[in-house]
């Protein structure tokens, strides 16, 4: 016998009924975006590698260690997207969307791939809901974006989450701040690896979780204390708008994101019931991304929420996010003639918008009733040989157990009226 094949390491299958919860979470995260005028975009799951090396940044772990990069049969270097923003901005440029009305508001949802060390909440294949607002640099837009992220979590009923917010400055103030930080880090007692990391991206050291490193960072210079006047005014205005929108946040001056493109407003959503992989979403403004990808020099802001992690958060809070699973009515039949009646009835019900199913294969009455129970249906229609000879089928309420005979010719209308299709 050949070996049983399994899903690759760091990936998993989502099966019914869990898949219903996945869809409910995904749809709840998307709904606020559609209500706010964001338009759906689909881009390929793989892009030319340069989209990510230039977009996400050569110094990030994502680009140096985590990408699934391969040459196709034509010798092109392609990469499975490790995130969705760079591809969306590539499409924004390619289709010259900046020549239309601004801001250009886009959303998408789909797979992302990172070769990370798998653990609870961290996978090699995961799903993001991603949104971007491009072409306008207005603090009110930053606040809209952040508030829409919060809305998705609230609509799911989540409460144990927190919005971490900071400003990462811009091209006028970040280089000076970076120098200050490099000088500060040079004086510390750091191992060689951390020193190397500090040379590539000193800001990343601020995010080091090890207590011996954190202990030395108490007096580290912070970007928020060294913002230019215009960047400070931008950040103040974002916070004012967030207050107006009823959004609360925690200042996170040491927040460092894993992608290089961020400027100004930067944020993360964390959930407190998830352990070490607590980030359920994150995003920020990116002044240079469009230009880095060969497009116009316009700003953008957006976020991505991890659907898989948000689902874990929903489970951690014990929330029931699925209104109705499975079908509304399940049709059980016995005998060849009853089968024809059943198949026809299910077809008509489905056409009328009622979620209906029936048994296939020879299961016997007991097996068929079990299938009806498992289906999640509130009602079953049982069509047996003897009943059929009398011209009736039984409509059974699976919750109360009550049952009544309905003439075969009236089954469709009666079922439809009962379950409300």
Nearest distance from C-beta of residue 363 to ligand HAM, angstroms: 39
Nearest distance from C-beta of residue 214 to ligand HAM, angstroms: 21
Q: Could you tell me if residue 118 is left (phi over 0), alpha (psi between -120 and 50 degrees) or otherwise beta?
A: beta
Nearer of residues 40 and 409 to ligand HAM, judged by Cβ? 40
- What gap in Å lies between CA 352 and CA 336, rounded to an integer? 25
Nearer of residues 208 and 287 to ligand HAM, judged by Cβ? 287
Nearest distance from C-beta of residue 289 to ligand HAM, angstroms: 8
Nearer of residues 46 and 303 to ligand HAM, judged by Cβ? 303
- What's the Cα-to-Cα distance from 29 to each of 22, 129, 206, 235, 412, rounded to whole Å? 11, 7, 31, 26, 36
Judge if the upstream peptide bond of residue 103 is cis by omega within 30 degrees of 0. Answer: yes
Residues 388, 341 contacting (CB under 8 angstroms): yes
Nearer of residues 258 and 295 to ligand HAM, judged by Cβ? 258
Nearest distance from C-beta of residue 225 to ligand HAM, angstroms: 24
Nearer of residues 128 and 166 to ligand HAM, judged by Cβ? 128
Nearest distance from C-beta of residue 34 to ligand HAM, angstroms: 17
3-state DSSP assignment of residue 46: strand
- Strand-pair partners of 111: 127
Can you give the binding site for ligand HAM, defined by CB under 6 A?
83-85, 114, 116, 122-123, 126, 128, 130, 132, 258-259, 279-284, 302-304, 306, 308-309
The residue number with the shortest CB distance to ligand HAM is: 306
- What gap in Å lies between CA 76 and CA 147, rounded to an integer? 40
Burial string for 47-83 (b: 16+ CB within 10 Å, else e) reads bebebbbbbbbeebbbbeebbebeeeeeeeebbbbbb
The order of strands in the sheet holding 392-397 is: 356-358, 329-333, 379-383, 392-397, 403-407
Nearest distance from C-beta of residue 244 to ligand HAM, angstroms: 23
Residues 381, 372 contacting (CB under 8 angstroms): no
H helices present in 201-335, as ranges: 203-206, 211-214, 229-244, 289-292, 307-316
Nearer of residues 83 and 287 to ligand HAM, judged by Cβ? 83
Nearest distance from C-beta of residue 98 to ligand HAM, angstroms: 17
Nearer of residues 113 and 412 to ligand HAM, judged by Cβ? 113
């Amino acid at each position: 016998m050949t070996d049983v094949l399994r899903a690759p390491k760091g990936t998993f299958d989502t099966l019914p009924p869990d898949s219903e919860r996945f869809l409910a979470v995904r749809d709840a995260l998307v709904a606020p975006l559609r209500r706010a005028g964001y338009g759906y975009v689909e881009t390929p799951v793989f892009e030319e590698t340069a989209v990510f090396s230039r977009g996400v940044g050569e110094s990030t772990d994502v680009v140096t260690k985590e990408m699934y990069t391969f040459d196709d049969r034509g010798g092109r270097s392609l990469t499975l997207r490790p995130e969705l923003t760079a591809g969306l901005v590539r499409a924004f440029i390619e289709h010259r969307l900046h020549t239309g009305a601004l801001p250009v508001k886009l959303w998408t949802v789909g797979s992302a791939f990172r070769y990370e060390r798998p653990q609870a909440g961290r996978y090699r294949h995961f799903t993001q809901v991603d949104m971007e607002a491009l072409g306008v640099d207005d603090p009110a837009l930053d606040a809209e974006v952040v508030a829409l992220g919060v809305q998705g979590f609230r609509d799911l009923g989540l409460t144990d989450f927190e919005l971490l917010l900071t400003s990462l400055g811009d091209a006028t103030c970040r280089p000076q701040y970076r120098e200050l930080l490099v000088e500060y880090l040079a004086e510390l007692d750091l191992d060689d690896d951390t020193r190397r990391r500090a040379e590539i991206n000193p800001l990343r050291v601020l995010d080091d979780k090890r207590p011996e490193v954190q202990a030395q960072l108490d007096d580290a210079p912070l970007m928020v204390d060294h913002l230019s006047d215009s960047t400070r005014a931008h950040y103040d205005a974002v916070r004012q708008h967030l207050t107006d929108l009823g959004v609360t946040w925690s200042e996170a001056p040491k927040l460092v994101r894993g992608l290089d493109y961020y400027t100004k407003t930067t944020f993360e959503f964390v959930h407190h019931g998830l352990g070490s992989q607590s980030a359920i979403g994150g995003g920020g403004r990116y002044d240079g991304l469009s230009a880095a990808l060969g497009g116009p020099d316009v700003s953008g802001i957006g976020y991505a929420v991890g659907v898989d992690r948000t689902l874990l958060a929903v489970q951690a809070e014990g929330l029931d996010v699925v209104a109705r699973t499975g079908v509304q009515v399940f049709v059980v039949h016995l005998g060849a003639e009853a089968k024809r009646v059943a198949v026809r009835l299910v077809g008509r019900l489905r056409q009328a918008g009622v979620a209906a199913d029936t048994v296939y294969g020879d299961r016997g009455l007991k097996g068929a009733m079990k299938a009806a129970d498992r289906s999640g249906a509130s009602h079953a229609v049982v069509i047996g040989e003897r009943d059929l000879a009398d011209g009736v089928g039984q409509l059974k309420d699976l919750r109360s157990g009550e049952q009544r005979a309905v003439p075969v010719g009236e089954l469709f209308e009666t079922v439809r009226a009962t379950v409300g299709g």
